[in-house]
Chains A and B, each alone.
Chain A
């Protein structure tokens, strides 16, 4: 593979993604990421200097909502997804803001 992912990079990506990987998983992830980067390098061989960056697949713009309240109390449905609930809230491990 043309690209090389080193230990420091896989460690950093793990922190960003909030993932803890075993040694074996890290090696696998390195290989996956290297092949992805190789693929992107392949795409970069195309000359796109004359192409407008595309911002949306459909040629439409200005799809708006009026500022009118449409939704009621959605807490029941919302909290149905909570693995743990307390005081009408999702419970998550301690975070320091």
Chain B
């Protein structure tokens, strides 16, 4: 390749909002119900049914807009986007085209120490479609309308990104802002956050855009990175071969590592938008905006600064803990019980992350209570249990959220801090292992390790290794 190319990338990100009910009816949004159990005449598009807007959807959408520096459209409304597909029972999707709720925002991203703004063109509210499942046996498709009418916001960026790294940084930024707001859990794998990538390439430094394609079906950060690399190379190859890039929608197949043009017939797009006459305009007053602003939480960037100042944690720890709203909440709730911040951080960074990785789970699904972690830390600090036993108990807390005090009591894991009893046990071990004592006396200082090990075994690991060492040294000195 003789010329240098750069990618120009814009994103359309759909986020499923964490409301209890759908956007226009009182059906539950809960995941995993049997097909079509969360349906009513409104979300299945029955004639004569009347949609009524869920207030919480407006509040979440405006909150995301304010957190991404958008202007709020104080007089906004809904439009119908017309298309025919079996997942869309009304033959139109209620969305916003002319007056979306948020416009002209931006978020700051950082890639390899370089900061830059990614501008947000708009954020609009809309409803999700139903789910189609293909039955390979009969060749038919099955339609489940449980997702139909689940509220979404679509965040449309300007074409401000130039690499896969920038795209990932932007998505991470959005994900954390939205998670901190509690507006969505933003899980790509489960589809509560979905990104479509608009990408074109041009010679580096050129100011005209090339022809772009839109890539769909990207459900992990890895898939997004791979799809961007793949599409960049495909377009560059076309240009180098003197061919044209066709503006089209392409579907990424992550297992094959390639994308395919969706058939143009399916892709025929002429949505004939018009204002939805069933829904009245939404007016968002200054007072309402002020109220939403006031309810905004402390975001990650602010937390990072405060954790450094207040708790003096290492940057690495701060990055990991604030990288999940759930983990940050757990950290703060445990500290609020009077526990030493560095100690809490150590348990979260060490054992918690180890167990999360081991069981291949999502950090947001960690479910133990802060009270139990605080209690465990206290028990170790008071030498009621030693650190090794503490790790065992923590595993139980992590997996079953056991009360550490009750668990230690039930399984008799309390430290043997009774020096008298411990001394007696050690004396017996010394007596039964004359060879080790001899070795030790002969200068093989390592032999003491074996005796410590025997003591820990005899006490089922409950003795404090420091105290065992001390007593053993005393006894051996006397022989």
| Closest A residue, CB atoms, query B146 | A75
Please measure, in the bound complex, the distance between the C-alpha atom of A93 and the C-alpha atom of B141, giving whole angstroms: 6
| Closest B residue, CB atoms, query A86 | B142
Q: Which of B86, B138, B277 contacts A56 (CB 8 A)?
A: B277
Residues of A within 8 A of B277 (CB): 56-57
A sample of 22 inter-chain contacts (CB < 8 A) reads A16-B268, A17-B84, A56-B281, A57-B277, A61-B281, A65-B21, A65-B26, A65-B55, A67-B19, A67-B56, A69-B26, A71-B25, A71-B27, A75-B39, A77-B41, A78-B39, A81-B46, A89-B144, A90-B145, A93-B140, A93-B141, A94-B140
Q: Which of A55, A88, A93 contacts B35 (CB 8 A)?
A: A88
User: B53 at the A/B interface (Cβ < 8 Å)?
Assistant: yes
Contact A95-B132, Cβ < 8 Å, known A61-B281, A67-B56, A89-B36 = yes
Q: State the Cβ distance, B434 to closest chain A Cβ, in Å.
A: 74
User: B37 at the A/B interface (Cβ < 8 Å)?
Assistant: yes
Q: Pick from B36, B55, B143 the residue with the most CB of A within 10 Å.
A: B36
Interface residue tally on B, bucketed by range: 35 or more
Residues of A within 8 A of B54 (CB): 64-67
Give the interface SS of chain A, mostly helix, strand, loop or mixed. loop
Please measure, in the bound complex, the distance between the C-alpha atom of A86 and the C-alpha atom of B270, giving whole angstroms: 32
User: B282 at the A/B interface (Cβ < 8 Å)?
Assistant: yes
User: A40 at the A/B interface (Cβ < 8 Å)?
Assistant: no
Residues of A within 8 A of B27 (CB): 69, 71, 74
User: A18 at the A/B interface (Cβ < 8 Å)?
Assistant: yes
| Closest A residue, CB atoms, query B275 | A55
Please measure, in the bound complex, the distance between the C-alpha atom of A90 and the C-alpha atom of B35, giving whole angstroms: 9
Contact A62-B140, Cβ < 8 Å, known A69-B21, A95-B132, A96-B266 = no
Q: State the Cβ distance, A81 to closest chain B Cβ, in Å.
A: 8
Show the binding face of B for A, using Cβ within 8 Å. Answer: 19-21, 25-28, 34-41, 44, 46, 52-56, 58, 77, 83-86, 132-135, 138-145, 265-266, 268, 270, 275, 277, 279-283
B53 near A64: Cβ-Cβ < 8 Å: yes
Please measure, in the bound complex, the distance between the C-alpha atom of A87 and the C-alpha atom of B277, giving whole angstroms: 35
Contact A91-B84, Cβ < 8 Å, known A61-B280, A71-B25 = no
A68 near B139: Cβ-Cβ < 8 Å: no
| Closest A residue, CB atoms, query B99 | A55
A67 near B21: Cβ-Cβ < 8 Å: yes
Contact A64-B52, Cβ < 8 Å, known A55-B281, A75-B37 = yes
Please measure, in the bound complex, the distance between the C-alpha atom of A57 and the C-alpha atom of B276, giving whole angstroms: 11
Q: Which of B141, B275, B282 contacts A62 (CB 8 A)?
A: B282
Residues of B within 8 A of A16 (CB): 83-84, 268, 270
Please measure, in the bound complex, the distance between the C-alpha atom of A91 and the C-alpha atom of B58, giving whole angstroms: 34
Q: State the Cβ distance, A62 to closest chain B Cβ, in Å.
A: 6
B20 near A67: Cβ-Cβ < 8 Å: yes
Residues of A within 8 A of B28 (CB): 69, 71
Please measure, in the bound complex, the distance between the C-alpha atom of A58 and the C-alpha atom of B280, giving whole angstroms: 8
Please measure, in the bound complex, the distance between the C-alpha atom of A79 and the C-alpha atom of B281, giving whole angstroms: 33
Contact A68-B26, Cβ < 8 Å, known A56-B281, A86-B142, A95-B132 = yes
Residues of A within 8 A of B44 (CB): 78, 81
Contact A62-B280, Cβ < 8 Å, known A69-B21, A69-B26, A69-B27 = yes
| Closest A residue, CB atoms, query B86 | A92
A73 near B85: Cβ-Cβ < 8 Å: no
| Closest A residue, CB atoms, query B55 | A64
Please measure, in the bound complex, the distance between the C-alpha atom of A84 and the C-alpha atom of B76, giving whole angstroms: 40
Residues of B within 8 A of A70 (CB): 21, 26
